Structure 1
Amino acid sequence: MATKKITVTIPEELLEEIRDAATERGISAYVTEAVRQKRDRDLLIELSDWLEEEYGPVTDEELAAAYAELEEVDAEHERRRARRSGEAA
């Protein structure tokens, strides 16, 4: 992938925290990942806003159903992890 060098100004304290966290990956990789995640969140917010305009807000019932489904998925993942841990032992 092609890259381009830019100049970015950030507070010194934040730079020190980034240096500590970036270690082996390097600051450029750390910042690239952070910017990519921010861009992805912005796109999801844009999609969410569009869906709400198009179909209306999510109801409490729909939200409860979604959370219940997520709990089922999490429980299934836990069962699979437990089985794998048992097989590895």
Structure 2
Amino acid sequence: MTTKKATITLDESLAEALSGVAEEEGIPLSRLIAGAAERDLRLRAGRAAVKEWGAEQGAFTPEELAEARAEMAAADAEHFSGRGSSAA
């Protein structure tokens, strides 16, 4: 993986909070911030895919939404139970 150095500006309190989280996790601050940015990009791609699907297939039914929420809740429960809690 090729990396590129970038300079960012953060509010002082945010920078301090993020530094504390990175220290607690035992990871570099840059890795913590990169992980957050990657999650944001995945969410954006997911939203775009849902929007595209909806334009082609129509709106989700209440049943489809309930099933998706149940699947997401199950995935969250598995992740937060400790089996998937490693940092991104």
TM-score range, shorter chain: 0.7 to 0.9
Aligned residues: 75
Residues 32-82 of structure 1 show CA distances to partners (whole Å, capped at 9, x for unaligned) of 100000000000000010001010110113223x158639xx4xx98xxxx
Indicate the percent of aligned positions where both proteins have the same amino acid: 27
CA distance, structure 1, for counterparts of residue 39 and residue 70 of structure 2: 25
Please give the alpha-carbon distance, in whole angstroms, between the structure 2 residues aligned to 1:51 and 1:57: 9
Gaps of 5+ in 1: 79-89
The alignment's C-alpha RMSD in Å is 2.7
Greater radius of gyration (CA): 1
Q: Which runs of 5+ in 2 are unaligned?
A: 79-88
Provide closer, same or farther for how the CA distance between residues 40 and 68 of structure 1 changes in structure 2, counting only shifts above 3 A.
closer
Residues 12-50 of structure 1, C-alpha deviation per residue, up to 9 Å, x if partnerless?
110011000001201010011000000000000000100
Q: Which one has more relative contact order, counting CA pairs under 8 Å at least 6 apart?
A: 2
Q: What is the rounded CA distance, in whole Å, between the counterparts of 2:57 and 2:20 in structure 1?
A: 45
Give the aligned partner of residue 4 of structure 1: 4
